[in-house]
Structure 1
Amino acid sequence: MVLLASDPGHYHPTSSRDINTKSNRGSNPFQKMTREQFEKWLDSVDSDRDGYISRNDLYAALASLGLHFKTWKAWRAMKRCDENHNHLIDPGLERKKLIDYAQKRWGIIVTN
């Protein structure tokens, strides 16, 4: 018996191998990290180490998490978080928006 997060409080008679279905395979849901760990993770995917995150950097970050639809997710995050439309996530406010976006859309849980 496994308690599925999508249906809280209800048990479903499934084995652990049934959990890895096509819909969630490789999506690596609910990565848990502190805000500091998330910042370090973003820095680690910043290919030119300038503090700005490009769409290609986001793609690499999503690939490292094993998420599906990486191209679309990176494009969408840029559209939502890049306020000055320079095609980069700037340090500061835009990076904070990216953290909030990652929590809502990528299943990353950022703790304080």
Structure 2
Amino acid sequence: MRLRTDIFVSALLRRVFARGDFAAVEAKGADEAGAIFIRQHFRDGLETLYGPAPQSLFDEETSGERLFEQRLMRAEPDKVREMLERERKFDPDLWIVELEAEDLGDIVPLAGGRENPL
């Protein structure tokens, strides 16, 4: 069974704050099953965008988890904003979470078991 989106986001925010970094919800979507997009802000003004991983990347062990993939890496904020606007037209119930952290470590679970490169 998959964790509700609002509970997942709440836990994500707590983990970020516990590390001494900052996080905020930019857009709140459906509480039960809204898709989550994560904007990682860097001090140099660039951003990395994470979105839900495609279902084809899930296996039996990860079928109930939320996994993410990088959609844009260290891109200009305008490009990130444009991509999120396109996604919002497709799915108005999505969540957007902003993180100000140089290193996400294991906070954002990436598909394919890859470690977070940042």
Q: TM-score, normalised by structure 2?
A: 0.29
Structure 1 or 2, whichever has the larger Rg, is 1
Structure with more strand by fraction: 2
Structure with more helix by fraction: 1
Q: TM-score, normalised by structure 1?
A: 0.30
